[in-house]
Chains A and B, each alone.
Chain A
Amino acid sequence: DAKTTQPPSMDCAEGRAANLPCNHSTISGNEYVYWYRQIHSQGPQYIIHGLKNNETNEMASLIITEDRKSSTLILPHATLRDTAVYYCIVGGDFGNEKLTFGTGTRLTIIP
């Protein structure tokens, strides 16, 4: 079973920041938080991952709470191309371990 909880759907206005929450209250000390997204008819696309500290890359920012029981993915200036299903995944060494996907959050960017 997936170890994360996400809202099934969210809307965000184009140009605004999209904030996608994820609860992972049973995360263990050596587990990372990974985010992928899947645009219709494409394979999942890696976005970002983190362990304890907040992370930022060219796609997004990841904010992890101090107790690590939840996190938020932030898309700073959402565009229509960001419409996708976003998956929050918790796991160990994800290069050598299977990813356990849940059902994700369907994010719709509204013009």
Chain B
Amino acid sequence: GAGVSQSPRYKVAKRGQDVALRCDPISGHVSLFWYQQALGQGPEFLTYFQNEAQLDKSGLPSDRFFAERPEGSVSTLKIQRTQQEDSAVYLCASSSANPWADSNQPQHFGDGTRLSIL
């Protein structure tokens, strides 16, 4: 079956430009996560949605980062006025876990968007 799909796969932008990264989770998955992975490091949490509700955005590094999931399926991570330190791989993960059923379901990851800021 289809897994988590992220687009674009690669994105190059000039410093100061705005970018939008898309995540299509596995169909029916309630939970959706965004992570940022710098070169040579493990992924770091950015934000978490349960359906359309953003329940945790504690990992967003600045107010230039904004995420949304308006209909509880596709999610977009937007970065405004990009800086060179924003260069990283941005990973999206989804899970079928929800508070009303078996909640300990694994997070399934997409292959990420590699963002390079020049």
Is there an interface contact between B104 and A98, defined as CB atoms closer than 8 Å?
no
Report yes or no: B42 in contact with A103, Cβ–Cβ below 8 A. yes
Please count the residue pairs between chain A and chain B whose beta carbons lie under 8 angstroms apart in the complex: 71
Beta-carbon contact of B99 and A96 below 8 Å = yes
Scoring B residues 82 to 118 as 1 if CB is less than 8 Å from chain A, else 0, what string do you get? Answer: 0000000001010111110001111111111000000
Q: In the complex, are the beta carbons of A101 and B111 less than 8 A apart?
A: no
Contact (Cβ within 8 A) A95 B91: no
Are A93 and B111 in contact, CB atoms less than 8 angstroms apart? no
* A94-B56 Cα distance, complex, nearest whole Å: 14
Q: Whole-angstrom distance between the alpha carbons of A73 and B33 in the complex? A: 25
Q: By DSSP majority rule, is chain A's interface helix, strand, loop, or mixed? A: loop
B112 in contact with A94 (CB, 8 Å): no
User: Would you give the shortest CB distance from B115 to chain A, in whole angstroms?
Assistant: 14
Assess the B43–A101 pair: CB atoms within 8 A: yes
Tell me, in angstroms, the Cα distance from A43 to B44 when the chains sit together: 13
Within 8 A of B (CB), among A47-74: 49
Q: Which of B48, B106, B111 contacts A42 (CB 8 A)?
A: B111
Chain B residues within an 8 Å CB radius of A49: 104, 106
Pairwise interchain contact B42-A94, C-beta atoms closer than 8 A? no
Among A32, A42, A45, A103, point to the contact of B41 (Cβ < 8 A): A103
Which residues in window 77-111 of A have CB below 8 A to B? 85, 87, 93-104
B75 located at the interface, meaning its Cβ lies under 8 Å from any Cβ of chain A in the complex: no
- The CA-CA distance from A97 to B43 in the complex, in Å, is 14
Excluding A32-B104, A43-B109, A104-B42, 8 further A-B contacts by CB distance (< 8 Å) are: A43-B112, A49-B104, A93-B97, A94-B105, A95-B96, A96-B95, A98-B48, A99-B107
Chain A contacts to B: CB under 8 angstroms? 2, 32, 34, 41-46, 49, 85, 87, 93-104
